[in-house]
Amino acid sequence: MHSSVSVPSHNPPTSPHPHRHHGAHLLNRAIVSEARMVVKRDTTRVRFDLNKVTRAIALAFHEVRTDNAPNPYRDDLLACFGLESEVFIEVTKIAAAVSQMLELYYRNGKHPSIEQVQDAAEKAIAAAGHWEVARAYMLYRARHSERRLIHYSDNGMSDYIAMAKYARYRPELGRREVFTEGVERVRDMHLAFFADKLDRRIPEQLPPDVVELAGEKADGLARALGGQSLDQIVRDAFAQVAAKKVLPSMRSMQFGGEAILRNHSRMFNCSFGNVDRLEFFREYFFLLLSGCGVGFSVQKHHVAMLPPLPVRAPEADLPVWHYRVEDTIEGWSNALHALFVSFLEGRKIEYDYSGIRPRGAALKTSGGKAPGHLPLKRALVQVEGILEQASGRTLRPIEVYDINMFVAKAVLAGGIRRSATICLFSPDDVEMMNAKTGKWFEQHPQRAASNNSAVVSRQDTSSEQFRQLFRAQKEFGEPGFYFCDHPDAGCNPCAEISLLPVVDWELSAEEQSRLFQGGYSGDLPGTVRLSGFQHCNLTTINGQAAVSEAAFLKACLAATVIGTLQAAYTDMPYLGPVTRLLNEHDALLGVSICGFMDNPAILFDQEILTRGARFCRATNRLVAALLGIRPAAKLATCKPEGTASLILNAASGIHPHHSRRYFRRVQANRKEPIYAYFKTANPQMSEKSIYNLETDDVITFPVEAPKKAILRKDLTAIQFLELVKLVQQHWVIPGGDPESRSPNLHHNVSNTCTVRPDEWDEVADFIWANRRYFTGISLLQDAGDKTYAQAPREEVSSEGDIARWNSLHPRRVDYTQMREASDETELKQAVACAGGACELL
């Protein structure tokens, strides 16, 4: 082997370092052939230089041996780069080993890249047994990579997601609104809705119960709200939204204005009901069509309350009921209810779909396009098939589940929205346990529209029963487990909101009066079961912007003000007076934090979290009094924040950032106008999607986590669950009213725990031992982000990744210059309370 070094041919001057000449002598042993080249990062080639390899290895040795002390000889080859002669001899042996490792490339007529040379150096150092030096060399590489990476001030993702998923079309502008215009639209809706209350003011001196709740922060709350009018409070809160310090219900961003004022259900992200009455099915359909995520229970004790179906006569003997379907979401829902009625009354229903607008017609109030009649027709035919099989008996839970799935698929296929549902079932229900096993995706594809979880009582379930469910989730992903101790309680599809959709308290005379005025005509409350749907609205605090406790509390105030406004939208006549009573009695809020891991020093501080939760409760009491509604029974939560995190450029919910720098990929249909406009400015960020080659592209956004952020690699599964437990104890639980009708029913921290192969048993033990702090947990097997192409998140780790990162150069897109002749928005773009089929965003 031959090597070449850049040392002078003349004798060097006398050196103060005792080993200068020895280093030069060692490196002059060999000469590298001129055919030996190395490929640089810009793809040009340079001659292989063993001096550079030796220097890098020597500096790593020096760093370890001197504890990173300054090295005045770091560029001095003749001084052995600051090392003693015997150590430098070892360095040159390792460098020679690197040269030998690279010989394979040259003999095959190839040239190694800079990265491959460095990889060989790492391996050679480790092979020589110098593990600490190998680690120092890796860190040295990382520091140099850091200096080579371009730092983008704006990656363009926030504006793109806001425009693609939430912006409404403005015909007077000939385009979609930009984010700040959408914020103004939602703000103005609230100002109009509360027009008769805008002059009401918070008292200068706060009530004693509010002062007690706010504690040491009471003076700050008084300065922020004391003497303020509702009008000013609303405007100040939405100024925080415009600055992306908080977000309102994203349903309000999607539907805010006439669509919500006509149908208050559109305000709410989350709902839950038990399948314990026939009216459930039409109300469930209505909520999905309204854009609300729905959880439901098919537990045996609920389904048993449904009326049995009479024995069905032969179809030829049934009287025909001609039914015209109205072209509204109420009309679609009523059509489903009529199908059930036809079976109870022994009639054959024949539907007339002629009144439904054709597919593609504009929906003026809610925006988007009409789906046509076929999605509804298919669902009704499929549900009818299930009812025919249940002649003369009560429906089984699996049949009720499939009915709900066919209905959800109708909503999805119609393009109304991607329906988010969760199904809770009894843990001893074998059919439901096996609902997603075997070839279910071929035989029962409708079941992909939900997540399924068995309800696990914390007191009555044995450890072995829990571990059986745990093993099933580990192996198949479903069913999950849902810890709950109330027979009628449940959750939204993401499991962070706890909901109790039955009247289980003694009604006041006023409540009884409102119930009957709202249309209730049954037996006296207290003598019969009153069941409906319960809702919760959500708001989001941007954790990345919570750089201090003061900033966090300011966001707590704005998010709570907006959530309290949202809770007052309870006029849902289609859902009936029981549902309205439930929502007005508990007036639930879900104030969430997106980006806990971006500012861990603030957001995992137990005292700050507890003060923040109590500050939210105090704010809620003040604003609720202005609005004339009840204060919230539960208030603090943590939702997944998938889409919100993209808008806020923060980590999702309580989850860590994927890595310090990573690619975040978003799928887009090529025909979507927003994507097409984005691509004209940023073609370098787009490529064909390998998942839908014919129709879709994928956008690659560069994401850089804050330096103080916690990363995925920084946490074990148990450490992550400890943080979930901490937030439950110090944010969620203090955010509930201990004097509410369900003081032991708390919201939850929605989380997905990534589990490495050797952690599963420990995770099972931890969850079971701490089950009082958990309700639902999603478990995900750890997998590399480079195992398949176009992963939603991919770490920037290789030289190729760095080159790709540096080539992205996101260019700002001025969406105010975009023009559309008609409304091309699609309501299905944004998923509220998403908990259904896995998707690549």
pLDDT tens per residue, range 223-242: 999 999 999 999 999 999 99
Per-residue confidence (pLDDT) for residue 34, from 0 to 100: 66
The last residue of a domain, from among 741, 756, 779: 779
Positive or negative, the CA dihedral 141, 147, 148, 154 is positive
Using CA atoms, how far apart are residues 457 and 462, in angstroms rounded to an integer?
9
Number of separate domains in the chain:
3
Rounded percentage of the chain residues whose pLDDT exceeds 90: 79
* Final residue before a domain boundary, out of 435, 466, 493: 493
Is the distance from CB of 363 to CB of 334 less than 8 angstroms? no
- Is there a single domain that holds both residue 273 and residue 239? no
Contact 65, 82 (CB under 8 A): no
Is residue 525, in this structure, part of any structural domain at all?
no
Out of 34-38, 130-134, 416-420, 658-662, which region has the weakest mean confidence (pLDDT)? 416-420
| pLDDT band, very low/low/confident/very high, at 26 (cuts 50, 70, 90) | very low
In a domain, 809, yes or no: no
Query: Quick count: other Cβ atoms within 10 Å of Cβ 147?
Result: 6
The pLDDT, as a whole number, for residue 646 is: 94
Same domain, 745 and 759: yes
Q: Which residues contact 269 (CB under 8 A, 6 or more apart)?
A: 249, 250, 251, 292, 293, 492, 536, 537, 538, 590, 832, 833
What per-residue confidence (pLDDT) applies to 626? 98
The stretch 251-263 carries a mean pLDDT of 94
Which of 493, 520, 555 terminates a domain? The answer is: 493
Q: Which amino acid is at 80?
A: C
The verdict on 561 and 543 lying in the same domain is yes
DSSP letters of 556-625?
HHHHHHHHHHHHT----GGGHHHHHHHHHHH--EEEEEE-GGGSHHHHT-HHHHHHHHHHHHHHHHHHHH
Q: In the block, which residue shows the tokens 């952690």?
A: 759
Q: Which residue has the tokens 């259900």?
A: 265
Judgement on whether residues 608 and 584 belong to the same structural domain of the protein? yes
pLDDT computed for residue 365 by the predictor: 64
Q: Is residue 658 part of a domain?
A: no
Q: Length of the chain in residues, anyone? A: 841
- The total of other beta-carbon atoms located within 10 Å of residue 568's CB is 22
Does residue 347 lie in a domain region?
A: yes
In this structure, the answer to whether residues 566 and 590 fall within a common structural domain is yes
The pLDDT of residue 367 is 63
Q: Do 278 and 241 sit in the same domain of this protein? A: no
Closest by CA to 644, choosing from 539, 722, 545, is 539
In a shared domain, residues 206 and 240: yes
Dihedral angle, C-alpha 396, 401, 407, 413, nearest 10 °: -140
The pLDDT-based confidence of 30 (bands split at 50, 70, 90) is very low
Q: What is the mean pLDDT of the chain?
A: 90
Helix and strand tally (H, E) in the chain?
A: 30, 22
Q: What is the pTM of this model?
A: 0.83
Selection from 113, 160, 120, 161 nearest residue 137 by Cα: 120
The pLDDT confidence band at residue 271, using thresholds 50, 70 and 90, is: very high
Whether residues 317 and 460 share a domain: the answer is: yes
3-state helix, strand, coil in the chain (%, to 5): 45, 15, 40
Q: Domain range for residue 296?
A: 264-493
Q: Mean pLDDT lowest for which of 320-324, 368-372, 593-597, 800-804? A: 368-372
Closest CA to 102 of 28, 32, 51: 32
**Residue 415 lies inside a defined structural domain of this protein:** yes
More confident residue, 143 or 656: 656
The alpha carbon of 670 is separated from its chain's Cα centroid by a whole number of angstroms, namely: 24
Report the relative pairing of strands 533-542 and 589-594 from DSSP bridges.
parallel
Q: Which band of pLDDT confidence, cut at 50, 70 and 90, is reported for residue 385?
A: very high
Residue 767 CB partners (closer than 8 Å, separation 6+): 470, 721, 774, 777
Q: Distance between CA 553 and CA 556 in Å, rounded?
A: 5
pLDDT digits (tens, 9 = 90+) for 403-432: 999 999 998 765 544 558 999 999 999 999
User: Do residues 253 and 186 lie in contact, with contact meaning Cβ atoms separated by under 8 Å?
Assistant: yes
Q: What is the Cα–Cα distance from 651 to 485, expressed in whole angstroms?
A: 32
Tell me what the mean pLDDT of segment 549-571 comes to: 98
Q: What is the pLDDT of residue 33?
A: 59
The region of weakest confidence among 116-125, 551-560, 796-805 is 796-805
673 in a structural domain: no
In a domain, 816, yes or no: no
Mean pLDDT across 293-318 = 97
Structural contact between residues 183 and 252, judged by C-beta atoms closer than 8 angstroms: no
Judge whether 801 lies within some domain. Answer: no
Which residues sit opposite 170 in a β-bridge?
175
pLDDT surpassing 60 at residue 603:
yes
d(CA 668, CA 692): 10
C-alpha dihedral over 231, 233, 239, 240, to 10 degrees? -160
In a shared domain, residues 138 and 216: no
257/328 same-domain check? no
560 and 582 housed in the same domain: yes
Tell me, what's the pLDDT at 146?
A: 67
Same domain, 254 and 276: no
